[in-house]
Amino acid sequence: MARVIPRKPRRDDDPPIDPVGATRDVLARCEKAGFVCAGIAPVQGTAFAHELRAWLQAGKHGEMDFLERDNHIREEPGKIMQGVREGVGDGVQDREQQARAFIVVADQYASRQDSDHEPHEPLHGRIARYARSRNYHDVMKKRLHALADALRIDYPGSDFRTCVDTAPIMERELAALAGIGWQAKNTLIINPRLGSYVLLGVIATTLPLIPTSQRVPDSCGTCTRCIDACPTHAITPYSVDARRCVSYLTIERRSPIPPDLHAGIGDWIFGCDICQEVCPHNSPRPDPTRAGETHPAYDADASRASLSLLQVLGWSETDRREAFKTSPMKRASLAMMRRNALIALGNAIAGIMGASTDRTRVSELRDQIESVANDTNQPELVQQTAQDVLRRLEAVE
């Protein structure tokens, strides 16, 4: 979400703004606000305009139609400030202007020191790490808004627009330009000290700031672990085909998931961390104090590491809302969560069929899916997924 903070008018007797001093002040305030790192990105056209257009034309954004809108801003991010409103009442008007700098910040939501390789309970679906705690949109927005409000007062005549995840800008490219990390082969930002378990926020501003001069070099080298480990083959170097990505499929896709991708989804029901888990830059550091510190707001709720697949299938809308009340998982509808649970349950059954002779347990679980497949009161998305899962199980018997 982007929020515009209108400027405080500049008076004739206000002192001129010193860009060097203002930059130091802004970065110090970012640190005080609890962001694990921050930098200043210059305002310039994206270096990936051709790649972005080709990616969209190939349909690799899937059902994320919003990515087709406002591409003129993605290609020229300085335009993000256009349309900022000023005035009161009938005197309100849109002001045409350009951003002069981007303040880019990062929150650390998990530590590379934390192992996530403990086995989950049987018949549970896994949740991506970032979604196991409070909604990062709320956590970051609150602090970015407070930071921008304070800067607006202390730097009269400057405008600010806060962005967390949904503004039409290339946050990862800006993060690389701001020296926070490099954009890796899996397209995520990797900080050499913290790894890739970071979330990004941006403040576009007309305040004259000095861009961070030191960029982080690409250290992926010849490594292809993320590419090799992707269970649905969604990753090619420095590009992700969202249509095959487990995170996209379980979070953004609203329609049925193609059956040929079901097996690759495994036991994930919201998001996926595989390309991060295998990355050597996310491995534990010998000195834990050098691995950064997770922001307290993201202290993971152990009960959210996974969810019972059978419970999710039995949820009401009230149950979903209660479970996701403070979570970014509320983005997924009840029908989507049931769809995801059915696919993960089908994969679990296939695993049981291949590893044991407990035909009774397999039959009981299949009956659960059949009851959904035959229930005409189920949403079409859920009923069709159940039917697809049953057909796949018949094929592997």
- Give the end of a domain, one of 148, 171, 205: 205
Shared domain for 189 and 304, answered yes or no, is no
User: Is the separation of the CB atoms in 38 and 31 below 8 Å?
Assistant: yes
- For residue 214, being part of any structural domain is answered with no
Question: What does the pLDDT profile of the chain (397 residues) look like in tens digits?
Answer: 455 666 666 666 677 889 999 999 999 999 999 999 999 999 999 999 999 999 999 999 999 999 999 999 999 999 998 865 544 444 444 455 899 999 999 999 998 877 666 667 889 999 999 999 999 999 999 999 999 999 999 999 999 999 998 899 999 999 999 999 999 999 999 999 999 999 999 999 999 999 998 999 999 999 999 999 999 999 999 999 999 999 999 999 999 999 999 999 999 999 999 999 999 999 987 776 666 788 888 887 767 889 999 999 999 999 999 999 989 999 999 999 999 999 999 999 998 876 666 778 888 999 999 999 999 999 999 999 999 999 999 987 7
Residues 6+ apart with CB under 8 A from 343: 257, 262, 265, 385, 389
Give tens-digit pLDDT for 18-45.
999 999 999 999 999 999 999 999 999 9
- For residue 278, being part of any structural domain is answered with yes
Shared domain for 160 and 303, answered yes or no, is no
CA–CA distance, 186 with 128 (Å, rounded to integer): 16
**Residue 255 in tokens:** 């329609």
Tell the burial category of 115 from Cβ atoms under 10 Å away from its Cβ (0-12, 13-18, 19+): exposed
- For residue 111, being part of any structural domain is answered with yes
Shared domain for 175 and 116, answered yes or no, is yes
Give tens-digit pLDDT for 356-397.
667 788 889 999 999 999 999 999 999 999 999 999 999 877
Shared domain for 271 and 343, answered yes or no, is yes
Shared domain for 83 and 190, answered yes or no, is yes
Shared domain for 155 and 51, answered yes or no, is yes
Shared domain for 263 and 168, answered yes or no, is no
- For residue 161, being part of any structural domain is answered with yes
Query: Which structural domain, as residue segments, surrounds residue 302?
Result: 225-396
- For residue 187, being part of any structural domain is answered with yes
Annotated catalytic residues are 165
User: Is the separation of the CB atoms in 257 and 283 below 8 Å?
Assistant: no
- Helices 359-373 and 380-396, packing angle to 10 deg: 150
- For residue 89, being part of any structural domain is answered with yes
Residue 191 DSSP symbol? B
Chain-centre distance of CA 293, in angstroms? Answer: 19
Burial 309-332 (b: 16+ CB within 10 A, else e): beebbebeeeebeebbeebbbeeb
Q: How many domains does the chain have?
A: 2
Shared domain for 197 and 78, answered yes or no, is yes
CA–CA distance, 271 with 276 (Å, rounded to integer): 12
- For residue 58, being part of any structural domain is answered with yes
Shared domain for 253 and 377, answered yes or no, is yes
- For residue 210, being part of any structural domain is answered with no
User: Is the separation of the CB atoms in 41 and 177 below 8 Å?
Assistant: yes
- Give the end of a domain, one of 205, 236, 263: 205
Shared domain for 69 and 178, answered yes or no, is yes
Shared domain for 230 and 199, answered yes or no, is no
Shared domain for 246 and 165, answered yes or no, is no
